[in-house]
Structures are given as C-alpha cells and as structure tokens.
Amino acid sequence: MKKRIPFFAGNWKMNKGPSETEKFVKQLISAIAGDDAICNALKANEIEVGIFPPFVSLERANSAIKSADVSISLGAQNMHWEDSGAFTGEVSGVMIKETGCQYVILGHSERRHIFGETDDVIEMKIRKSLNLGLKPILCVGETLEERDKGITEFVVERQLKEALKALKTHQTFETGIVIAYEPVWAIGTGRKASDEDAQKVCAFIRSFLENNFGSRVAQEVRILYGGSVKPDNAKGLMSQKDIDGALIGGASLEVESFLGIITNGMS
C-alpha cells in the first residue's frame, strides 16, 4: 500500500501576475535550498510542495520551477470541462496542461458560492481532468449556516457523491485524486476548524471512500485541510490521523509564512 505523502499546496487565488510570480518562485526555491529539513524531505519524496498561481502566471512559474534543483509541483485553480469552443473567458485543461501543470483545483468554495458552480459542473470537470491526466484537488465543505444546522456530513457526502459518481474503479484513484476539506466559514476569515473538528470531517471523508471505493482507496487518497491555515496552527492540524496536508490560501503568498507552515507541519 502506498504511503500518503504530506502535501502543502499554495492556492494564490487572484494574486501575483507573471513578473511577481517569477520573483516569488525564485525566492521560494532559494529559501527551500537553504532549509536542509525541507530540501531533504523533498528530495526523499517525503513531502510534496505545490503552488497554484493564476492562469496568466502558470507558464512563468513553470519556467522558474524547471530551472531549480528542488521539486515543486504546479497546478491551476480551475478549468473548463471542454477542450475548446465558444466559451469566452474560460481556460481548458488542455491549455493548462501545456503550461506544465500536474494538478487542478476543482470545486473550491469560491467557485461554488461566488460563481454558482453546481455539483454537476464540478463532476464534469473532474472527469475531464482525469481524461487529460491532470490530478484534481476536489474541494468540499459546508457553510456556517449548514454547520449550525448540524448537516456538515450530509453536505460533504452529497458533494463527494456527485463529484465522484462517474468513478467506479480503484485504478481511477491511482491517477492521484486529492480531496480537500474546506469549511466555507473558515476560508479567509481568520477562523479555522479546531484540530478535532477538522479530523472528524476528514475521517468521515475517508470512511465515505472506504464505503464506496474500498479500503485500499480510503487508505491511499490524500485528504487536505484548508481554511485559515497558518504557521502557528499547522502542527496541530498535521498531527491528526486523517489530515495529509494543507490547501493554503493567504499564508502561501509570502515565502516566510508558507515555509513556516511546511516546517511546522513536518514536525
């Protein structure tokens, strides 16, 4: 059975254009190279570090990453479910794969709640990403209203069922699907789920995977936590049995805080 490698993924959202991205990546690479613990862990494949810049910055990020001695994964923040067509303003998986991406974030709460993406739309994107060989990071999570009603697990289960309904075999999961639990009420608010609450929902997600896809899938799929992750709370979150990393927003925009999360999350 494959070991679950901790994954620290920085979602930059609508921040950092091409020039700023290139500068940041070079600073990040330099900082990692100067940190023996992180550098050695990356070289030994004991952790994974990824960045998710805006579409316009992906190619510049990829060029900077390719020139480095350390391994940093690259992903996009979204994609359309068609390869091409009359979809003004959209970007296809074919396009982002050409920029060097290995991953794509799908179903982020901001896509669901600001841009109105439905479970059906997210499911089409999941299928397309897998067909293209892009690893999806599927985001699920409840709003504050849903949490207060006590229906967190109901909401998360519905989102998982709908997004993964076309997936029937373990082989599909070997492509590297990642799931991120992001309570909507904790994103960008400074609030976070307690370590115990985050663990409870991540354990529920793993139980869902076991019930629907078998124990091997449940034990191999990485489950991340996202929602106001910072250096001072990373250790507690990462010490939880079913949390395999973090999807990091604002704290990934500064090299120092991003590395602080990785360092504390490794300890």
Tokens linked to 172? 């599909």
Other beta carbons less than 10 A from residue 54's beta carbon: 18
Residue type at 258 in one-letter notation: F
Tokens linked to 19? 């020039």
Q: Tell me how far apart the alpha carbons of residues 142 and 148 are, in angstroms, rounded to a whole number.
A: 10
Tell me, what DSSP letter sits at residue 21? Answer: H
Q: Tell me how far apart the alpha carbons of residues 211 and 85 are, in angstroms, rounded to a whole number.
A: 38
The residues assigned a catalytic role are 108, 182
Cα angle, residue 141 at apex, residues 135 and 146 outer, rounded to 5°: 160
Q: What string of DSSP letters covers 151-216? A: -HHHHHHHHHHHHTTT--SHHHHTTT-EEEE--GGGSSSS----HHHHHHHHHHHHHHHHHHH-HH
Q: Are the C-beta atoms of 240 and 199 separated by less than 8 Å? A: yes
Phi, psi (deg, nearest 5) at residue 140: -135, 155
